[in-house]
Amino acid sequence: MLIDGAAYYGALRTSLLAAENTVFLVGWDLHSATRLVDSSGQADDGFPDRLGEFLQALLQRRPSLRIHILVWEAPIIYAGEREWFLAHGFGAGNLDRLILRRDTCLPLGSAQHQKIAVVDDSVAFVGGCDLTIRRWDTDAHALENHHRVDPNGVAYPPFHDLQMAVDGDAARSIAELARERWARSAAGAAPPLGPALDRWPDGVSPDFEDVEIGISRTEPALDASAEVREVEQLYFDMIDGAEHTIYIENQFLSAEGIARRLVERMQARPALELLMIGPKTHASWIEARAMRNGRLEFIRAFAAAGLLDRVRLLYPRVQDGGAEAAVMVHAKLMIVDDRYLRVGSANLNNRSMGADSECDLVIEADDAPQRRAIAQIRNRLIGIHCGVSAEDVAETLSRARSLLAVTELTGNGHSLEEVDDGIPDPAELSGMMEPIADPSRPLELSSTASTTLSASLKLAGLVAAIAALALGWRFTPLYDYVNFDWLSQTIESLQGNPIAPLVVVALFVVGGFLLFPVTVLIAATSAALGPWIGLGSATMGALCSASIIYLIGRAMGMEPVRSLIGDRLDRFTGAIKGNGIVSVVLIRMVPVAPFSLVNLAAGASGIKFSDFLLGTLLGMAPGLIAMTAFGSQLVDLLTRPSWINIGILAASAAAWIAISFAAQFVVTWFSRRRRA
């Protein structure tokens, strides 16, 4: 078990240094500026410390090595958190043996959430930790650590995460899973499995040897591939086997089915205790609205059953002098008694059960040494949060005969404190947010449909036209040329030309039909035309593209669009139509579906065009402004690095945060107006 980012990054680095054949990196997010270093905070092996430069240097020294990187194509709301020029950062355009692809083939409302690294098909790392910025920390979770900074040198709070390293048959099974994920994302063929080699990370002592490891997945239904809900079933099975203690670490707690199963088991086992560790608060406004309400409902299930005396929901706190901070808990772990240990990417929310792609590993102890190892991992984790040793935790458990007794332990400024989520948001706001932000299943594409002849003909014509454009872009040389660099160069060639904004609008409209990422179009416009003209042109382009596809959806009507998007269109469009501007704003800010498909569904729903247009403008405003003002300065920093550009970049980032809060205030204001 690799506890916290420093342990994972250090272990992965040593395995990568031995790589000769293939590497797969699959993630929700990746960032080329991630410092791939251990707890020392430094690299002393002669290779760069930043992930992108490290992989490029590795390829230069290993002529037979191929690196495959698959990352989720996130919506515009995440623009402020992600690397916009990812291919540039990893040097994908210069190195033909580094293949970087974005997973754009998931159903509507789904995310690629697996966090997997595989080296030479011989060692695999699975858990909750992405290879991205603001994740690295040591298990000391010190209040201040000068290595715990982002690429701009800005410090961030203590961060807790987990990753499991496996080799042998388990690693080869994960390697096959990574290839399946690669193929399902339309990223192309991957090389076959290679020979088994010794790639176990130097300096890492295994917690288990010769143990069977189970793999559980969530995969939403897609095309001919059936839905997979192994993650959910494994949770049910583990809960049903609990006798005395359940220990959970998780970022989110909102899965209704899991809460019900826990309540049922605790009612059946009067001695069963539940200790849950999570973050004090949820970082973003969207998470706070959707996941905080879900966590309140999760806990309310135990209160309604009269079980709160055997349940605790706590967060880790660090104090030093008069200062304090809450540790951000990003881990996804469950330990049942000393029998089951699981760690992976799946949160305890609804979307991890059926909407997103997930991968968890589980160990079921079948002898005394394995039981001791599971108990030791649990005790060590609790000890880290409380600032005491694993032995102190074990002694307390033995003496008190209660898992909840360990919550009183404290040392070195560390302690566990009660989570107070306050009161839930009004039902109208949470009712709009939760089905969008935390669905139990995606708004998947349907494979069959029954429509009238005229509707079928209209749909066939539209699909044929879009398919021809999309296939021409994806499977011809256009795919190699129509990228960020090509777009920015094309737009830049029109600088000073009065028709430049019109060309940008045309590119956005065509891109909308191709399902081309709107974030790339916005960033390219900013890079080519500068922040002010870029902002105006990108805004016009996005609104024109949205309007045209909205009008197509309105002309087609519900049945043909349902044939394209699926039966779940009713719930999706019902939320839009019933709540007007506010719903459109929320849908633009939450990762529901690709930009163009939202526009199509909105048109079919019958929502007023004025509500749609204003909601689109408000919902996209933070991302548009961030990717123009902030993005333009990032281009300057990459091409002309200087302290002035760094300062302007930091100021732009601060402005982006302020704009985000302002947009969130507008959403709340609209919601309150509607309730009034």
Mean pLDDT, residues 500-512: 78
Proportion of the chain above pLDDT 90, given as a percent: 53
> Looking at residue 617, what is its pLDDT?
85
More confident residue, 213 or 437: 213
Is pLDDT of 448 > 50?
Answer: no
Query: Distance (Å, rounded) from C-alpha 599 to C-alpha 555?
Result: 13
CA 26, 28, 34, 36 dihedral sign is negative
Is pLDDT of 582 > 90?
Answer: no
pTM of the model: 0.73
> Looking at residue 223, what is its pLDDT?
73
Query: Distance (Å, rounded) from C-alpha 265 to C-alpha 242?
Result: 8
> Looking at residue 517, what is its pLDDT?
67
Is pLDDT of 654 > 70?
Answer: no
Is pLDDT of 534 > 70?
Answer: yes
Query: Which H or E element spans position 334?
Result: strand 332-336
Is pLDDT of 42 > 70?
Answer: yes
Q: At what angle do helices 531-556 and 631-639 cross, to 10 degrees?
A: 130
Is pLDDT of 204 > 80?
Answer: yes
The C-alpha angle 117, 87, 501, rounded to 5 degrees, equals 145
Q: At what angle do helices 518-529 and 484-492 cross, to 10 degrees?
A: 40
Band of the pLDDT at 469, cuts 50, 70, 90? Answer: very low
Q: At what angle do helices 518-529 and 500-513 cross, to 10 degrees?
A: 160
Is pLDDT of 250 > 90?
Answer: yes
Is there a shared CATH topology between the 2-184 domain and the 214-427 domain? yes
> Looking at residue 620, what is its pLDDT?
79
* Percent of the chain that is helix, strand, coil (3-state, to 5): 50, 15, 35
> Looking at residue 673, what is its pLDDT?
55
> Looking at residue 350, what is its pLDDT?
94
Average pLDDT, whole number, for the chain? 82
CATH of the structural domain 214-427, one choice from 3.30.470.10, 3.40.50.720, 1.10.3720.10, 3.30.870.10 = 3.30.870.10
3-state secondary structure 621-674: HHHHHHHHHHHHHHHHHHHCCCHHHHHHHHHHHHHHHHHHHHHHHHHHHHHHHH
More confident residue, 46 or 490: 46
Is pLDDT of 463 > 50?
Answer: no
Proportion of the chain above pLDDT 70, given as a percent: 74
Query: Distance (Å, rounded) from C-alpha 115 to C-alpha 174?
Result: 11
Q: How many of the other CB atoms lie within 10 Å of CB of 314?
A: 20
Is pLDDT of 234 > 80?
Answer: yes
User: pLDDT tens digits, residue range 132-169?
Assistant: 999 999 999 999 999 999 999 999 999 999 999 999 99
DSSP 522-564: HHHHHHHH-HHHHHHHHHHHHHHHHHHHHHHHHHH-HHHHHHH
> Looking at residue 109, what is its pLDDT?
77
Is pLDDT of 494 > 60?
Answer: no
Band of the pLDDT at 96, cuts 50, 70, 90? Answer: confident
Residue 451 has what DSSP assignment? -
Query: What's 2-184's CATH class?
Result: alpha beta
> Looking at residue 495, what is its pLDDT?
60
More confident residue, 184 or 387: 387
Mean pLDDT, residues 566-594: 62
Mean pLDDT, residues 17-41: 97
Band of the pLDDT at 285, cuts 50, 70, 90? Answer: low
- In this structure, of 291-305, 350-364, 404-418, 633-647, the range with the lowest mean pLDDT score is 633-647
Q: At what angle do helices 230-240 and 256-268 cross, to 10 degrees?
A: 20
> Looking at residue 461, what is its pLDDT?
42
Going from N- to C-terminal start, the domains of the chain cover 2-184, 214-427, 446-675
Mean pLDDT, residues 200-227: 93
User: pLDDT tens digits, residue range 295-329?
Assistant: 999 999 999 999 999 999 999 999 998 899 999 99
Band of the pLDDT at 454, cuts 50, 70, 90? Answer: very low
> Looking at residue 442, what is its pLDDT?
78
Band of the pLDDT at 445, cuts 50, 70, 90? Answer: very low
